[in-house]
Chain A
Amino acid sequence: MNIIDKPENFLTNGQEWWMIFESETRKIIVPPNQCSGYTSSPFTMIVANSKEECDQFIIDSNLFIANFDNTLV
C-alpha cells in the first residue's frame, strides 16, 4: 500500500484501488475506486492492490465517508 501526502499528478492505471482522505478530520474525500488518470489533491492518497486493503485501512484508521460539504453519504 502506498500512502502519498498531497499527491501531484500521481498516475494510477485503473487496476489498483485508490482513495483520498483528509487526515485531520478522518473524512474520506474520494471513496475507494479504480480509475486511471493523474490525480492531484491537497489531502492524502492511498493506493492499494485491492478494495479489501482500502476497506481495512478505513477501519484501522477510523475514517468515515462524507461528501465535500460534510454531509454523510
Chain B
Amino acid sequence: MNINITSPKNLVTEIRLGTSSPRLSGSVDISQFSSLTYFSGFANNITSFKGFEDCLNLSFLGLADNKLSGNILTLFPNYFKNSVISFFNINSNRVSGPLSLSLSAMSNLQEFRVAFNPLSGTMPHISSNNRLKVFEVNNCNFSGNIPSLSSLSALNTFTVDTNPLIRGTIPSLNDCMQLASFNVSNCFQLSGTIPDLSKNTLLNTFRCFNCSLSGNIPSLNALTVLRDFRCFSNSLSGSIPSLSANTDLRIFLCSSNLLSGFNGGSISNTVSDFQANNNRLTQANVNAILASLVAANRTTGGVLNLGGSGNAAPTGQGLTDKATLISRGWTVTTN
C-alpha cells in the first residue's frame, strides 16, 4: 500500500504518520508539500522517501524504525548540504553506503541519528556543527577515526559504540561542556587513553568497554552527576580513582584490566554495581574497597565482584566486611 497524502498541500507544515497496526508500508513522496517543516514517520514499514528537496523549510525528519534501503547519498541527494534541517533520524533501517563527508553545511543541525544501519566509510566530520546536541551512529559499519569533537560546545550525547572497524584514539572532550552521555564501547581497535574528563562536569554516563585502551583511568572528581561508568575489558593500568565526589554513582565496572590500586575515599550508597574482578588488586586494595562499601551503608543490596584472576583475597577485617555486605543483601564475589 502506498501512502498518498493530498491537498491542501501548500498549507501543511507538519505530517505525523503515527503508528498503526498493521504498519503503514510503501513509499512516501512529500514533494508537493512546499511548506512542510516537520515530517514524522517513525515505526512504520516505509521503503522509500522522496521529494524532501522541494521542501525548503523541512527542519525535522524522523524515519527511524522503517524499511528504508539503498545508498544513503542516493536516498537523500544533497540532503547533507541542507542548512535548515535540525533533526535527522533514520535509526534502524537498512540504509547503506559511505557517509564520508563533512556536515559543515548543516549549520542548524541539532540531532543526527543514523544508528543500526549498515553504513560504511569514515564517520562524517562534525567539528563545525556547533549546535549539534546528539550524534548517534552506533551499530553501523563505520571505519577510520572518531571525528574531532573540538568546538562542539552543545554536544550532549555522543554514541558511536559497536562499530568494530573504528580505530585511532578517543578525541579530546575538553570543549564538550554539555556532554552527558558518551559511548565508544565495542570498538575493539580503539586505542590510546581515556581523555581528560575534568571539563565534562555534566557527564552522566561514560562507556568505553571492550576497546583496546591503555593508561590510567582519569580523575573523576569533577563528575558530580556521574551515574554509570564502564571501562571493563581494556588494558587500563594504575589505580581505580577516588569516587568520593561521585555522589550519584550507580554503576562502576572496571573488570578485566590491569588495575593495581584503589585511591580510596568514600563510595556513595547509591552504588549498586561495582565490578573490578580480573585486575591486579592487592589484599589492601580489596580490603579498602570492601571497607568503603560497608561504610557507604547501603542496606538494599547490590553486586560486588572483586574475584577473578590477578586480584588478592580479602583478609581479616576484609572478610568481616564481606560478611557484612552479604548480610545487607549484597551478592559478593572475592578470591
Against B, the Cβ 8 Å flags (1 = close, 0 = not) of A18-37 are 00100000000110000111
Residues of B within 8 A of A14 (CB): 308-309
Residues of B within 8 A of A30 (CB): 303, 305, 331
- Flag the segment in B29-37, B127-135, B148-156, B270-278 that touches A: B270-278
Any B CB within 8 A of the CB of A49: no
Give B144 Cβ to nearest chain A Cβ, in Å.
29
Interface size for B (C-beta < 8 A) is 24
A-side interface mostly: loop
Residues B307 and A35 in contact, CB atoms below 8 Å apart:
yes
Residues A20 and B307 in contact, CB atoms below 8 Å apart:
no
Residues B307 and A38 in contact, CB atoms below 8 Å apart:
yes
Residues of A within 8 A of B308 (CB): 14, 35-37
Any A CB within 8 A of the CB of B301: yes
Residues A67 and B250 in contact, CB atoms below 8 Å apart:
yes
Q: Chain A interface residue count: which class?
A: 10 to 19
Against B, the Cβ 8 Å flags (1 = close, 0 = not) of A25-68 are 00001100001111111110000000000000000000000011
Residues A43 and B277 in contact, CB atoms below 8 Å apart:
no
Any A CB within 8 A of the CB of B251: yes
Residues of B within 8 A of A35 (CB): 255, 277-278, 305, 307-308, 333
- With contacts A42-B301, A68-B302, A69-B250 taken as known, whether A37 is within 8 angstroms of B272 at the C-beta atoms is no
Any A CB within 8 A of the CB of B10: no
Measured between alpha carbons, how far is A62 from B329 in the docked complex, in Å?
24
Give B212 Cβ to nearest chain A Cβ, in Å.
21
Against A, the Cβ 8 Å flags (1 = close, 0 = not) of B291-314 are 000000000011101111100000
Residues of A within 8 A of B219 (CB): none
Residues of A within 8 A of B277 (CB): 35, 37
Measured between alpha carbons, how far is A38 from B307 in the docked complex, in Å?
7
> Can you give 23 A-B contacts (C-beta < 8 A)?
A20-B303, A35-B278, A36-B308, A36-B309, A37-B306, A37-B308, A37-B333, A38-B333, A38-B334, A39-B331, A39-B332, A39-B333, A40-B326, A41-B326, A41-B332, A42-B329, A42-B331, A67-B250, A67-B273, A68-B273, A68-B303, A69-B250, A69-B272
- For the complex of A and B, the 6 pairs showing the least CB-CB separation, nearest first, are A37-B307, A68-B272, A41-B331, A37-B333, A39-B333, A35-B308
